[in-house]
Amino acid sequence: MNKSATKNQKNKSRIVLGRDIGVLIAAILIAVFFTIASPVFLTAYNFFNLLRQTAQLGIIAMAMTMLIISGEFDLSVGAIYAVTGVVTGILVKNMGFNIWPAALIGFLTALLLGFVNGTLISTTKINSFIGTLSTQMIFRGIAMVLSQGQPISFLQSSIFFDAFGRAELFGNIPVQIFWLLAWTLISFYLLHRTSFGVKVFATGDNRLAADLSGIKTMSIKKTCFMITSAAAGLSSLISLAFLKTVTPTQGSGLELEAIAAGVIGGTSMSGGVGSILGTFIGTFIMAEVRTGLVLMGTDAYVQDAFVGLVIALAVIINVRFSISKDRT
């Protein structure tokens, strides 16, 4: 039985590696195409700009990957992203809070909303798509009510804005990149190098078997929901610091982009399979496509169509490569 489990684990690792290589090949091909189309694409400035744009979505997408691997989804992360910024803004502008404690309270609010999601799904056992779709509407309504539907701007100066979004380190490297890399390393270690990660994979692969083996699967799912909401909260603070403004409508569609990035990176929609590295590359693909289209002067109205097409092609290449590796 142990030999069988070990063999199964090796097979799954091989599939994940194949998917990571497949999506990396897709990213390289896309980069080559846009480099030929626009020489400006392959420059240090543009590369750093790509990673800066990738930061917020990437942080959320990697957390979403853990959640999807566990067998669940969260459609409310965009709304949590908005609530975090609005709560922080209200505390600073209307209540006179310093930006640091206000940001901490905003982040803790995101964690609380993640706990609400996890508790709702685990206690009612409803489908997480439906459950988090409902909380998405509730959370977005909270953001609208708190802000009265108006944007909130930050006029004061603080090292907070530099530390989270506006500073450039080592000359010209945006600080958002360091947040992205730090989150990537933490996520990679948590998912691929700890017992928690093993339990996440086991929960998504076969929940009944995981339960019988003593894994508290509902606790694992709750934790994944909270990690996802923490990612949304952190990303919101990074956006707030960079733009120095928040709106109750920000983050709309962010949840779907995060899921798409994970799927491009090889995460299985049925759970049990995925990787942080794959999602990182998948997020990068979305950023390089959008940036490449802008550099080519593509009409803004057709950019989404091109992005969707490239995403479909990347997924096809990814899946084809995975199947061929699995058959060998």
∠ CA 181-26-282, rounded to 5°: 35
Provide the CATH topology of domain 18-327.
ABC transporter involved in vitamin B12 uptake, BtuC (1.10.3470)
Beta bridge partners of 169: 173
Which residue matches tokens 């603080």?
158
* Two tokens, residue 31: 């980069």
Which residue matches tokens 């057709």?
302
Please tell me the chain's helix, strand, coil percentages from 3-state DSSP, rounded to the nearest 5.
80, 0, 20
- In order along its 328 residues, the chain shows pLDDT tens digits of 344 444 455 555 555 666 778 788 888 988 999 899 888 888 888 888 888 988 999 999 999 999 999 999 999 999 999 999 999 999 999 999 999 999 999 999 999 999 999 999 989 989 999 999 999 999 999 999 999 999 999 888 889 999 999 999 887 899 999 999 999 999 999 999 999 999 999 999 899 999 999 999 999 999 999 999 999 999 999 999 999 999 999 999 899 899 989 988 888 888 888 999 999 999 998 888 888 888 888 877 777 787 777 667 766 765 665 555 455 5
Helix (H) or strand (E) holding 173: strand 173-174
pTM (predicted TM-score): 0.90
Determine the Cα–Cα distance for residues 193 and 189; give it in Å rounded to an integer: 5
3-state secondary structure of 195: helix
Alpha helices in 94-127 (DSSP H): 99-124
* Two tokens, residue 17: 């590696």
